[in-house]
A and B are shown apart, each in its own frame.
Chain A
Amino acid sequence: MRKRAGVSFYIFLSLFIFVIMFPFLWVFLTSIKPPIEIFAGFNWFTTNPTLQSYINAIDTRPLFLYMWNSIAVSTLTTVIAISVASLAAYAVTRLPIKFKGTILGIVLAAAMFPQIAIISPIFNLIQSLGLRNSYMGLVIPYITISLPLAIWILATFFKKIPFELEESAKLDGATPFQTFRKIIFPLAAPGVFTTAILVFIAAWNEYLFALTINSDDNWRTVPVGLSMYQSQYTIPWGDITAATVLVTIPIVVVVLLFQRRIVAGLTSGSVKE
């Protein structure tokens, strides 16, 4: 590192973090204000902090049910995507098959597909399978988002594992499947885990499919459920800010715990090493 950090640098840094964090900060400060104060002015801090907005947020809408739905859908999506994608990524990076470029091209093309271009046929499909308002009704379309993403990132991680290990396992008489399970998979586990986090976040954040397919309030996921807090006539900012804080906490925890891995996964696709 050639530059050293001076005072002005830290001032800049603090400003940068403040600007980025300001919306969260303000939303949090609003959520603990008594509801009357929210509409009364722009004081930063309230003198009577209260949890009333949190109670309202949970009472008016089944927020915890939304979170449970999101957890179920995202977990199922992640498990399916990772198991299918790790096989494919392994074959593309490490086995002597043809058309590797074509296969990755298809994967990349699928990753770029706009969801709006497939929503109506997917809607018909889910409808005819009788899967509207169910977890599988969302897991199936989420494959379109998660599978290409998972293959793309896993391929980078699998490529980094030294080929020598595989060769020596082969000499010892291991079948390719054994090599994959006993040698590659343990070594690739950190990469697989990173990919799983990214796939999970992608599934957690999806909006369009969740909005159209699971329209029953009991099957809504967090993003859709939260966007339904605004009614046509009044906007209960207290409830909304409290609900926002509640649904953001799990994400903040995940980010704080796994930030290094997330950054490694995000940059793996775009930076040559």
Chain B
Amino acid sequence: MGDKKKGFQLSETQLGYLMVLPALILIAAVTLWPVAQSFWNSMFDYRLNDPTRNQTTLSYQIDLETYANNYFYIDRDLEAIENEAADTELEETVAQLRQEIETYHDQLVTLPEIEEQYEIVDEMVMNFEPVNDRDLRYGSLDNDFAEGYISLLEDGQDELLDAIGDHDEEMESALSAGAASLTSLDRSLIRPNFIGLQNYGKYLTDARMWSAMWNTVFFTVVSVFFELTIGLAVALIINRAFIGRGAVRAAVLIPWAIPTAVSAMMWNYLYDGQSGVVAHYFEQLGLISDASVLLSTGSGAMFSIILADVWKTMPYMALLLLAGLQTIPESLYEAAEVDGANRIQRFINITLPMLKSAILVALLFRTLDAFRVFDLIYVLTGGGPANSTESISVYAYQVLFAQSNFGEGSVLSVIVFLSVALISIIFIKLIGSDLFEGKTGK
């Protein structure tokens, strides 16, 4: 921008940062922050369908509604045992247990952060009103206090259950009722669900994860390979003047432009064992033994997915490579011809090097796209038969949303993320600064 370094220049720079800011904030908010959260969530036993684990917590919590509800019965149940077991050793043990629980309870309800909250919740429980307000219902507890209380309750349960064997029926039911109330009270004390890398341990030894990973890698490598080679061949052939360029361009763009889910539905029909025309013709040509093979066997389904992907993306690849081919100056080929280079030599020594960056950029985006494949597989085969076409993204989706397990599902999300990051780094090393060329300006 010239040599003028005065007030004007400064404000222009400031304006520049101001103009970039909204984009960066949005990107940070909707991509970087969620990825960080996925990492965080992957270290918790975090399940949406379990009310005690549907949040990530590092400290003990208490479900005051459940607590108030169950504390009410503890006294009654323990007293019943004491009456049954009058003048025995058991009476003494239970009396002591009752005493200790009461001490903990008194301490709990006078904790400054809990006291008021508990009074309100207790009042509501007495009136049989449900406590729907999360903030009111759950309180946090000091870790040492909670651990002490929990171990008391657990020991109490064991003692009561151990005593069951040596008594009559009436005593037995009193004991198990007492143990059950202790269990319920214990459940209202929610453990922190931080489990560190335990989820990773589980999935790194999980056969289904490795088979999903293998399926993904296989799908990516094979389909990108065919898209590139066929695309390049088509680009080389149609790189000439001919009538009907518009028609070719449209034919090439339409498969690329339609939603993958829609093309997956189309192929689902074409591959169908009974009414699918592609399956039918493949059978007639002797390519497959039976029309149903395409979607009902593992290798048939994998082939079907790859074919559908190549169909959708190869034309687009050809288009990108054709644009690259058209930037190669004709004079290079003429000079090579004068020097006596044949077709193959010209291809290897001129076309390929000149196309290198176009090929690498196309490969980078295609590889990443193929690696995170979701909708094609989810709609076409659902990952079946018997998970034989399940990609890692489909598996992650199943764990996250079908099982509502956000902790374990996040591990798979993180694995996809790390793989994609690794692939990108390798490619960017290969491509180098070419990727940014023509974008950053002066």
Binding site for B on A (CB under 8 A): 1-5, 9-10, 12-13, 16-17, 20-21, 23-24, 26-27, 30, 38-39, 42, 84-85, 87-88, 90-97, 100-101, 103-110, 112-122, 124-125, 140-141, 143-144, 147-148, 151-152, 155-156, 159, 163, 167, 176-177, 201, 204-205, 207-208, 211-212, 222-224, 226-227, 229-230, 235, 237, 240-241, 244, 247-248, 251-252, 254-256, 259-260, 262-263, 266-267, 269-273
Q: Which of B269, B406, B436 contacts A30 (CB 8 A)?
A: B269
Q: Which of A94, A108, A207, A272 contacts B357 (CB 8 A)?
A: A272
Q: What is the 8 Å Cβ interface bit string for chain B, positions 247-291, against chain A (1 contact, 0 not)?
A: 111111111011111111111111010110100100000000000
- Cβ-closest 10 pairs across A and B: A95-B16, A88-B23, A223-B261, A118-B34, A267-B323, A121-B37, A97-B16, A207-B375, A121-B34, A5-B242
Per the bound structure, the CA–CA distance linking A24 and B315 in Å amounts to: 15
Per the bound structure, the CA–CA distance linking A84 and B401 in Å amounts to: 32
The answer to whether B22 touches A88, judged by C-beta atoms less than 8 angstroms apart, is yes
The answer to whether B265 touches A117, judged by C-beta atoms less than 8 angstroms apart, is no
B189 at the interface (CB under 8 A from A): no
The answer to whether B23 touches A2, judged by C-beta atoms less than 8 angstroms apart, is no
B130 at the interface (CB under 8 A from A): no
Q: Which of B112-120, B148-156, B180-188, B412-420 contacts A (4 or more CB under 8 A)?
A: B412-420
Q: A96-B16, A222-B262 are in contact. Are A267 and B23 (CB under 8 A)?
A: no
The answer to whether B441 touches A159, judged by C-beta atoms less than 8 angstroms apart, is yes
The answer to whether B19 touches A226, judged by C-beta atoms less than 8 angstroms apart, is no
A sample of 19 inter-chain contacts (CB < 8 A) reads A1-B240, A16-B251, A23-B270, A88-B24, A91-B17, A93-B440, A114-B368, A114-B417, A116-B397, A121-B35, A176-B15, A207-B379, A222-B259, A224-B261, A227-B261, A244-B262, A255-B250, A269-B361, A272-B434
The answer to whether A223 touches B240, judged by C-beta atoms less than 8 angstroms apart, is no
Per the bound structure, the CA–CA distance linking A252 and B256 in Å amounts to: 11
Binding site for A on B (CB under 8 A): 1-2, 9, 11-13, 15-17, 19-20, 22-24, 26-27, 30-35, 37-38, 41, 234, 237-244, 246-255, 257-270, 272, 274-275, 277, 280, 311, 315-316, 319-320, 323-324, 327, 330, 333, 357-358, 361-362, 365, 368, 371-372, 374-375, 378-379, 393, 396-397, 400-401, 406, 409-410, 412-414, 416-417, 420, 424, 434-442
The answer to whether A95 touches B374, judged by C-beta atoms less than 8 angstroms apart, is no
